[in-house]
Structure formats: structure tokens, C-alpha cells
Amino acid sequence: MQADFYALFDRCQATLKSGETLTAWFQGEGSDFVRFNHGRVRQPGTVDQRELALRLVQGQRHATSNLSLTGVMEEDLARCVAAIGRLRDRLPHLPEDPHLLLADTVNSSENLGACDLPSSGDVVDAVCTAAGGEGRSDDVVGIYASGGIFRGFANSLGQRNWFRSYSFSLDWCIYHEADKAVKSTYAGFAWDPAVFDRKMDLARRQVAVLARPAKKIDPGKYRVYLAPAALGELVGLVSGWGGFGLKAHKTKTTPLLRLGEGAKLNSMVALTEDTGRGVAPTFQADGFVKPARVPLVEDGQLCGHMISPRSAREFDVAPNGASGEETPVSLDMASGDLPADRVIETLQDGVWVGNLWYLNFSDRSACRVTGMTRFATFWVEGGEVVAPLSVMRFDETFYSALGENLVHLTDEEDFQISTGTYFRRSTSSARMPGALIEDFSLTL
């Protein structure tokens, strides 16, 4: 794909007229998808696609055309040249863009991740064996996605960037009955059978607890453990709605407004955009190369922002490779000192939450979040799991949950790759520990 992309762009560039600049953003993938139901394969499939966004710039005017590519050079070239002609006709009728910022210093790069993935057939065998082995018949439902993700950038100033990454994600549930299920995920760059077996074994033990009569508790404040997936939902909502975006902070629309004005989280909290450990490309669609790490919160204090080229131009600062949305796509939350195998023992009496669901802001400016528990949520007494809990609603501020009420973070992080597949496989990921929190508000 890399050679084809560069060759196609070189031929497109040859059609430019004086004063024109052309940029191209390439997105491609070769992915396998397998859906499971009742522990068996329901639907396998493969997607091989290539997409190209061409932007023609003249002065402060610019326009973009998005195309799907066939992989046949002459056919793709004809469509690209026609698209450039349409963009050229459109430019004189567009207003100048005062916030346009181009990567005008050539900064080429090449990041060629190795493929250490198992065959999809081997993973299918592992899942089906785990679901039905040794006389079991677990109702395993889920989806497996794996394969290569490719990104490229080129401009008529001579810059060339290429990125490839091979990853997998398995997102599955084991159902007990009706709406009672345990949700699990496993994601990474190389499949480790021992890790999968450990996650599957934990899910089975939790499903066994779901068979017990459910316990109901009164609304109130409880000692709560948020598993990495649950904490990821909470942090993901805040970061996804401008929590760390420069423009959101400058315009006072960020949910972390108080953090930007001097409020603090617990000193244990450290958040970093860690591109080097994620699946996202090392450059963005405008051609700006990302730093390996962008610290966002250190010692509980805001210390950085995600800065897109447009915000950089508007607020006269340097960009740091953020997209136009200015949201982290490789977010890393530092681990703590609580051994992951001693969570239940340390929780003692309280609520173990595997997943959160339907999150939204009940007071955005105060970063107060509401949502529901989901899938496996358990009542713990004396350091032992006693019973499953009925679905509960929570309403809590980010500043309390990860501030004065945060007791521990686990010493292990869970790698989470977004399972989103709208248009293409997502390149967003996160590394999250679990969090033990005092006085967490359950409201219904």
C-alpha cells in the first residue's frame, strides 16, 4: 500500500498549477472479523479497503475531496485528477480560512510495526474450545477483530509519512440468562494463550456468582471498586468531550474547567497521551508529527493540552499532533500500588463494578457524571464476593472519584482498544488501572 500511495500522489502532484499546494491523507486496513454466538462462529468476514482525502490549498483557501480507492493505479489516478479539478473550480468561491495551518516544514517519517498476530482460525479454535471444552457449554457472544491498519500522509512540499500497525481485539460476554452476563475484553499486538485463559476463567467464576439471588442495596455512598473497563468509561467520557482540548479550555466549554483553573485531583492521578504504546498513527491528517508522549495530568494537576493545528493558529501556540477534535487517542493512566489480585480483599465491604454504561454529564461544568452499572456488578462483604447486585445508577463528580475519595489504583493496567468499526476499525486505545474509591454515590 505504501508504494502505491506514494506513486499515486506523485502523479497527482504533477497536475498542480502555480500557487497550489496539495495534501493527501490515506487510510487503509486489511481486517478479519468474526462474530460469535452460543460459543460458535456466527459470521466470519474480511475487509480490505483504502480511502484517500485530497486537500487543495491556495493561499488561505482550501477544500477537500474524499475518495475510495480501488488499488488499480490508472483508475484511481483518473478519479483523483478529476477530484482535484473540481476542488480547483471550487476554491475561488470559498472564504479565506484565518485558522488554516499547514505543516510547511518537511518532517517525513516511517513507522513499520511488525505483525505478530495469530491466524484468525487459531483464535476461533481457542474461543470455541474455551466455550465448549470439558463438558461445558458457555453462551459466549462477541466479536473478534484483527489485522493491519495503515495510515499515510503526503504533501507537495515533499513530506512523506507512513504508519502501519497490527493489532487484535476480542470483545465478548458469557451469558447466564436473560440480561445477566459478564463482559470481558482482550486486546493487544500478540496473542498470549495464558492471558486469554486467565480472563476466560475469571469470567466463568463471575458468571457462577450471577446464578445467586441478586441483592438490592439502598441509594447512598459506598466503597466501590471500578475495574479498568469501568474506569475507562468514566475517563473516556471526560476526555472525549473536550477534557484536555486546548480550544475547549480557552472557550470555557471543557468539563475539566475547574482543573484548568487550579483545582487538583488526587496526586496519584497521572494521564498521558502515549502514542508510542497505542495503535494510532504517529502523525495526523494535516501532516504534523506527534510527540511520543504528551503529559496531560501529573500529580493530579493539569499540565498539558491536546493542540490541533487550528487551535495552534488561533491561540498562537505550537501544535502537538492532535486531531481537530483534540481528544486523546492513546490515553495512558498511570498504575498505582494495589496488587490486582488483592482487590476484593482490600475492598472488604462494598461494590465491585465491572462496567459502566450510558454515561452522560448531569452537570458538565462541574464534571459531574451519571450513568448505570452494567453486566457483572457484585456486593462484597468481609473481602468475599457475596451476590450480584441489581443495576444501579450513579451520580458522581470526577473531582471526588479521582480526587479526595480515591484510595488506590491497581498496580496493573489493562490495554483497551476501541471496538468501534464505523467506516473503519478505530485506532483509539487506552491503558487503565482499576480504582478503589470511597463514598461513591449510587442514587437509584
Question: Residue 232's pLDDT band (boundaries 50, 70, 90)?
Answer: very high
Here the cell at position 415 is: 490495554
What does the pLDDT read at residue 132?
A: 84
How far apart CA 140 and CA 194 sit, in angstroms, is 19
Q: Pick the closest to residue 181 from 21, 383, 355 (CA basis).
A: 355
Answer for the pair 256, 264: CB distance below 8 angstroms, yes or no.
no
Return the domain boundaries, the chain: 2-210, 220-442
Q: What is the CATH number of domain 2-210?
A: 3.30.2290.10
User: Is the model's pLDDT at 135 over the cut of 70?
Assistant: no
Contacts of 60 (CB under 8 A, 6+ apart): 96, 97, 98, 100
How far apart CA 142 and CA 38 sit, in angstroms, is 9
pLDDT digits (tens, 9 = 90+) for 377-408: 999 999 999 999 999 999 999 999 999 999 99
User: Which whole number is the average pLDDT over 90-110?
Assistant: 97
User: Which whole number is the average pLDDT over 206-228?
Assistant: 96
User: Is the model's pLDDT at 211 over the cut of 90?
Assistant: yes
Q: What percent of the chain has pLDDT over 90?
A: 97
User: Is the model's pLDDT at 178 over the cut of 90?
Assistant: no
**For the residues of 295-309, what is the DSSP string, one character each?**
EEEETTEE---B--H
pLDDT digits (tens, 9 = 90+) for 111-134: 999 999 999 999 999 999 999 866
Which pTM was predicted?
A: 0.95
pLDDT digits (tens, 9 = 90+) for 20-39: 999 999 999 999 999 999 99
What does the pLDDT read at residue 134?
A: 63
Here the cell at position 269 is: 492521578
